[in-house]
Structure 1
Amino acid sequence: MAVLAAVEPFGVAAPARVVMDVRGLVERVKAVGGAAGDWSPVERREVLAALDAAVGALTVVRGEVLLAERDSGTWRASGDPSFEAWRGRTSRSGARAVLTQVRQADAATRLPALGEAAREGAVTVDHMEALGRVVAGASGAVKDALATPERQAQLLETARRVDAGTFARAAAQLAAELDPLAHERGHQAQRAARFLTLADTPEGTRIKGLVDRMAGHRLRLALEAVSPRPGKDDDRSHEQRRADALDTIAEKILALPETGSGAAVRPHVSFLMDAGTWAGLRALRATGEADGSDAASFAPVTLEDGTPVPISEVARALCDCDLTRVVMDADTMPLDIGRTQRTYTGVQRRAVIARDRGCSWPDCGAEARWGEVHHIRWWERDNGPTSLTNGVLLCVFHHHEVHRRDLTITRQPGPPGPGRRPRYTFHDQRGRPIATPTRAAPGLADDGDGGAGAPMPDAAGQPPDLFTVQ
């Protein structure tokens, strides 16, 4: 058995020779330094292919040594609870990484044709990692079936054609085909282990859980559906965008007419505030960002359980969320339950969606069905009407940004026409532009003058106001 061409067959001195050859190879490769930038593309690709093959061969040999060490039992003298714990500690790679390595080694041993292909560089380490997960979770009958020459040949042919992710799914499909009852038992085991916890902490609400693969797939699709390709101004991390997507889904579910709570009314968000806070919020003007810097003199708005609500969230909710506003006097008597005309009606919302067709923030790709209608002249701050001309469609993230940063929005004029939509400019309180488009909205024609199609103006030159609520 050879690790590299320079390694002689194992004998009495083979381990020392392996160590010497591997160390020599590492030293020679390290000597490359930063020279790779001076190589031609063909040379770089040749080196990459050689390195990939070497990594595959070394991984297989390491796996064989790992299994031999595990089976010897000598590691038990260290006092570690498991081989993975011992190896993770001594290698400093951690028990989880060692578990992956052992799974790869087991798969290469049980399916020697795949192991040999990995040694020769025909199958990547990532393919073997995927195979290791499938083999580790398979029943004894499935493991025996996968070990037959026919099934190994089938797996090897697939591994040569597709990437590791696709290969993992193909191997899982084969295992399910060989023993569908075992696959169902595995699914039920996943279902039995499912849980979800939400813990409110000073840093925020921590979410922890485990769901079965099917539920996870549905959740991933739902999160992707409300996480469009970010615009150039969107500096959120992937994890932050996913968290915002989960919040969007929750808000939309609560807003559905059919969503029930078991009571006479469907669940909704209630913000509680005293009379002074209500007056202060109404008087709050654009002297800075809407982050609460001007609201230090009055009591915080809270949820029903007493949790304080950030001012930017209050501003956004007052604009277009299903909200029960409960203003209390000193004797906790309701003073103002709010105006039901605050939110845009179904026909108004449809009209805004038909006009804007998606989030109006430049270069944001959020689809219309996940949008919220924002009052350009704010409902509470500016006494803006709930009208078609005063509405603009924004995704949840950019709606929050408009309120957090206290932005002003202007709809740009443009000639009407099919396939065109309005464009909007966003400015801060100093009049500085916040976002400017770098590309036309997908599938929509440009006006040619920097604007886009707006509603046909009336005789006085004003856009039609078809759905005003007084």
Structure 2
Amino acid sequence: MTGHLHPLHEALERLDEAWGDADDAGQLSRRQLIAVTEALGLLHRRSGAMLAEVAACVAHESRTELGAASLAKEQGFRNAAQLIATTTGATAGDASRLVKVGEATAPRRNLLGEATPPKYPAAQQALAAGRLSAPAVAAIIALLDRVRLTLGATETAEAERLLVERAQGLSLDDVRRLVTRAEAWLDPDGVAPREQEQRDRTSLSIFERDGRIHLDGDFDAARGAPIVAAVNGYVSALFAAQKEQIDPEAPDAARRSVAALRAEALSVLCAHALGCEDEAPALAGASVVVRIDVSDLADGTGYATIDGSDLPISVSTARRLAAGGGVIPCVLGTDREILDYGRERRFFTRAQRLALAERDGGCAMCGLPPSMTRAHHIRWWKRDAGPTDLENGVLLCESCHHRIHDNDWEIRIEGTGRQSRVWFIPPPHVDPDRTPRLGGRARYDVVA
């Protein structure tokens, strides 16, 4: 076993130990399934790190100046990306990103031939140790490459350290969400130009084909937020009506896909807009909340965010949205006073839900947008005399709400106000150490 292959062999040994004597996955116990999944994840991340390193070497041996002697052309491929994509079964885009990861995390040499650290040493260490996957590192270094000229070497290194630290333990989707928010935080002056690019790409195609009407939309955050809030709110209202038996004659929402329910929502909402004399369809309290710091609002710098979207918007767009109807501006100071209505109210007020949305960002456990969640008591209102205040409230979708209660998870709130954090404590049968798992907005927000 060579030293270079040791991390890969170590991951294989862990997988072999977790698998035990089972002949196939169907014979694994639940505890073994989790252990095997974790071992496979480590193996996947470490093999991805090795593949990125090899991909960078393949790209070097396939560089344009080699001409016909290029490794890729010798093997019958147009370039290194095509060779890697075909050999590994990936897309050309994935292969190109692998090459960039390998190049950005490989040791370098200066003009004197002396060894120097990689371009992104913190990312290299996390990748080699199997703490981050190659796609996660690719997302981080792509952001750092975009902002490094603006930030300078020192701030870029600090941003790299912070992003690598915060990305560990996150899914790739959440890493991308983290990167999106981090870009606005690291380069607030770039929000408006990027926003204009997004606005210019906005489109909606409507055409008929095969007896069907087809819609294909592409919206920027400001134009898309009201659509997302209204459609998701209508879908949530359908599920709530069925669960609470508000309308027994309503179609069974559980038997239909979310995509089908969203299509119905868009049709109903448009029909209502054409008539506007009937009572508005139920939207389960859906609203569009635009969030901005008071200092940014005052001097016009920085950026704002919209609930249900990871995309930042400029201060000018935030002001325009707040001046229109159906949008709630949420201006944040340095401290937030906790809204506490005690036990006089069983149900959380609209103001409290908005405050919970500010803290949790949506479902505090799985990340669904606020329009698809409800405010739930951590300590039950009736059984445990739990107060109806923010320190005893959390936003959860119905699925996560049942999962938490059915499987004996605990929820703890750390701190108060906008800087407070939600922690989920797994039961002993899930994690014997009961290691807390960070939830809510703080999980993927670099300024949380």
Q: Which has the higher helix share?
A: 2
TM-score range, shorter chain: 0.3 to 0.5
**Bigger Cα Rg:** 1
TM-score w.r.t. structure 2 length?
Answer: 0.46
TM-score w.r.t. structure 1 length?
Answer: 0.44
